[in-house]
Amino acid sequence: MTRNERAVDVLVVGAGPAGLGAGAELAASGAGRVEILERELDAGGVPRHCHHSGFGGRLRGGDTGPDYARQCVRAAVRAGAVLRTGVTVTGWVNATTAGSAADGPADAPSPAGAHVLDVTGPAGLERITARAVVLATGARERPRSARLIPGGRPSGVYTTGELQQAVHLYGQPVGSRAVVIGNEPVGHAAADTLRTAGVEVVAMVTDQPPSPVAALLRLQGRCPLLTRATVIGLSGRARLTGVTLRHEDGRTLTVPCDTVVLTGDFVPDHELARRGGLTLDPGTRGPAYDPEYRTSRPGVFAVGNLLHGVERAGVASSEGRAAAAPVLRHLAGTVPPARRPVPLAVDAPLLWIAPNRTGPAGARPLRGRFVLRTARRLDHPVLVVTQDGRELDRQRLLLPAVPGRPFHLGAGWLERADPHGGTVRITAV
Ligand SMILES: Cc1cc2nc3c(=O)[nH]c(=O)nc-3n(C[C@H](O)[C@H](O)[C@H](O)COP(=O)(O)OP(=O)(O)OC[C@H]3O[C@@H](n4cnc5c(N)ncnc54)[C@H](O)[C@@H]3O)c2cc1C
């Protein structure tokens, strides 16, 4: 099959806030030809279908998602990045095997160290050689099948992303009585979208114990919140008729409804990273990476929610911009002397830490701190950092650590970690 072959300096995969931030900064900094590829017909990523405000780095107010998405797109294009939509990156051709007989007619060998990716778009198949690749493919909520929820396969079952696309992008009707599974910010965004579409939210459900915030929401009467409960079944044949829940004390309850939204439980969209042979972090399930956004494959960088489930859009955009400097150093061949990356790992109930590798001497994560998540609420925990039994640091959190929300660990201890030592462990006590 004929493939159009081209070369670029930097190929950015994904045009959400992270990829557009990286593309804007790289193009403005003279990285050469910077091309951003987006599989959707419109660029902007998740914010395109989040019609609420709260984007642009501000916790309250701020821009709506679509406004923010447009600003990110404009910034990248104005800086000189080439943005192509409706174009999906489907895989990698190992630089050393590019042009092998199995891949079709003899291709010119790729320049040493370059990466070759296969791409499908309106113009047909392409093979793009890039001196550096920035993966910015985002994260997605786990669908019903991956959550192992028993029952039939009725319509009316959504993730937040599917709901928002149905309502805001396609104007489809979604039902009249809904249950939202999850009580994190994304669950509330789903509830708002349902109300905008004229759907009554009859309950929100969480497996977590009651919290002061939950009590406040009940007082405000926005909707009943069922705590310490999990979904054990969906009923209905053609259309959903109810959701069966089990409380942790064993009681069960079926809530009649025609719509259920499964929120949170994000997984990095790591398929392309996996196909590229990148080492994945067992905690985040995104590519393992260091404070310079370097993955296990030289010249391949990763940014945004691909690295750590869902952070705010402003964080994803800042990560994209921050990755530009190390990418430029890679292009210029001025990468700092190699230092063995030491893995970082957490102990339960902590779920993950990001970045999850140490980097070159002096490299610090964004804003000088690591981001972490926990599986259960911890009241003002002390985070203890150890390596080979040696304590490197301990930091008390001023606020509780709560599931589904980020909390942070300062990076001041990094220089005390032994680059020849074992895994650095973070424990909450
Ligand atoms: C329901 C919801 C509400 C939110 N509300 C807020 C809020 O109020 N404020 C806030 O700051 N943040 C909010 N966020 C978070 C914010 O949307 C994300 O932090 C941000 O979108 C992450 O940017 P990203 O670029 O990493 O990923 P994404 O926005 O997911 O972009 C990734 C892009 O990569 C593309 N892609 C993936 N694979 C390929 C491929 N192989 N080839 C080509 N393209 C590919 C995808 O199509 C996508 O467009 C919300 C998120 C959700 C889900």
CA of 394 to the centre of ligand 1 (A): 33
What is the model's pLDDT at position 150? 84
Separation of CA 33 and ligand 1 centre (Å): 24
Instruction: Give the end-to-end CA distance of the chain in Å, rounded to a whole number.
Output: 59
Q: For residues 423 and 255, give the distance between their C-alpha atoms in angstroms, rounded to a whole number.
A: 47
Q: Taking Cα atoms as reference points, which of 77, 112, 58 lies closest to residue 333?
A: 112
Q: What is the pLDDT of residue 112?
A: 64
Residue with CA at minimum distance from ligand 1 atom 27: 138
What does residue 305 show for φ and ψ, rounded to 5 degrees?
-70, -15
Site of tokens 């001497």: 361
- The confidence score (pLDDT) of residue 221 equals 53
Within 13 A of 247's CA, how many CA atoms are on the CB side?
12
In this prediction, residue 403 carries a pLDDT of 86
418, pLDDT greater than 50: yes
Residues 351-371: what's their mean pLDDT? 95
As a whole number of angstroms, the distance between CA 275 and CA 300 comes to 13
Cα torsion 381, 383, 388, 389 to 10°: value is -40
Contact (CB, 8 A) for 353 and 409:
yes
Cα distance between residue 46 and residue 413, in whole Å = 35
Predicted confidence (pLDDT) at residue 244 exceeds the cutoff of 50: yes
Ligand 1 centroid to 84 CA: how many Å? 17
pLDDT computed for residue 339 by the predictor: 75
Minimal-distance CA residue to ligand 1 atom 10:
312
Q: What is the pLDDT of residues 383-395, one digit of tens each?
A: 999 999 999 999 9
Q: Which long-range contacts (CB under 8 A, 24 or more apart) does 351-354 make?
A: 351/283, 351/375, 352/281, 352/283, 352/284, 352/308, 353/283, 353/409, 353/426, 354/281, 354/284, 354/286, 354/289, 354/307, 354/308
In tens, the pLDDT along 79-98 reads: 999 999 999 999 999 744 43
pLDDT at res. 23? 98
β 252-256/242-247 pair status: antiparallel
Spatial CA neighbour of 384 closest among 335, 425, 342, 327: 425
Assess whether pLDDT exceeds 70 at residue 226: yes
Does 147 or 14 have the greater pLDDT score?
14
Contact 392, 413 (CB under 8 A): yes
Q: Which of 11, 50, 133, when mutated, tests ligand 1's pocket best, judged by the most ligand atoms within 8 Å of its CB? A: 50
Identify the bridge partners of residue 36 per DSSP, sorted by sequence position: 12, 83
197 vs 111 pLDDT, higher one? 197
Give the C-alpha separation, 60 to 389, whole Å: 43
Count of H helices and E strands in the chain? 7, 26
Give 303-345 as a DSSP string. Answer: -GGGTTS---HHHHHHHHHHHHHHHHHHHHT-PPPP-PPPBEE
Calculate how far, in angstroms, residue 46's C-alpha sits from the geometric centre of ligand 1.
4
Average pLDDT, integer, range 16-36:
98
Better-scored residue on pLDDT, 51 or 174:
174
**pLDDT score at 100:** 36
pLDDT of residue 234: 92
Question: What pLDDT does residue 365 have?
Answer: 97
- pLDDT per residue as tens digits for the range 138-164: 999 988 888 888 887 899 999 999 999
CB burial of 398-414 (b: ≥16 within 10 Å; e: otherwise) equals: eeebbbbebbbbbbebb
Using alpha carbons only, what angle is made at residue 350 by residues 347 and 353, rounded to the nearest 5 degrees?
A: 95
Q: Which atom of ligand 1 is nearest to the CA of 87?
A: 43
Q: How far is CA 42 from the centre of its chain?
A: 19
User: How far is residue 377's CA from residue 397's CA, in Å, rounded to a whole number?
Assistant: 12
Comparison of pLDDT for 78 and 98, the residue scoring more: 78
**Model pLDDT, residue 105:** 30
pLDDT value at residue 213: 62
Give the global pTM: 0.90
Distance CA 137, CA 121 (A): 17
CA-closest residue to ligand 1 atom 8: 54
Residue 145 to residue 408: CA distance in whole angstroms: 32
Nearest alpha-carbon partner for 306 in 276, 263, 331, 347: 276
pLDDT given at position 217: 53
User: Cis link prior to 355 (omega < 30° from 0)?
Assistant: yes
Which residues have CB under 6 Å of ligand 1? 13-19, 37-40, 45-47, 50, 52, 54-55, 88-89, 136-138, 160-161, 164, 186, 189, 269, 272, 304-305, 310-314, 316
> Strand locations in 14-170, DSSP E?
34-38, 53-55, 63-64, 82-85, 88-93, 115-121, 124-135, 139-141, 157-159
Q: Give the confidence band of 109 by pLDDT, cuts at 50, 70, 90.
A: very low
Look at residue 212 in the predicted model and tell me its pLDDT. 66
Least Cα distance to 166 among 140, 147, 194 occurs for 194
**pLDDT tens, residue by residue, 175-224:** 999 999 998 888 988 999 999 999 999 999 998 888 766 556 554 557 88
Q: How far is the CA of 248 from the centre of ligand 1 (A)?
A: 33
Confidence of residue 58 (pLDDT cuts 50, 70, 90): low
Query: Which of 67, 125, 137 for mutating ligand 1's site (highest number of atoms within 8 Å of CB)?
Result: 137
Q: Mean pLDDT, to the nearest integer, of 311-327?
A: 96
pLDDT higher than threshold 50 for residue 29: yes
Residue 138 alpha carbon to ligand 1 centre in Å: 5
Which H helix or E strand runs over 11?
Answer: strand 4-13
CB 82 within 8 A of CB 33: yes
Looking at residue 102, its pLDDT comes to 33
Is the pLDDT reported for residue 107 higher than 70? no
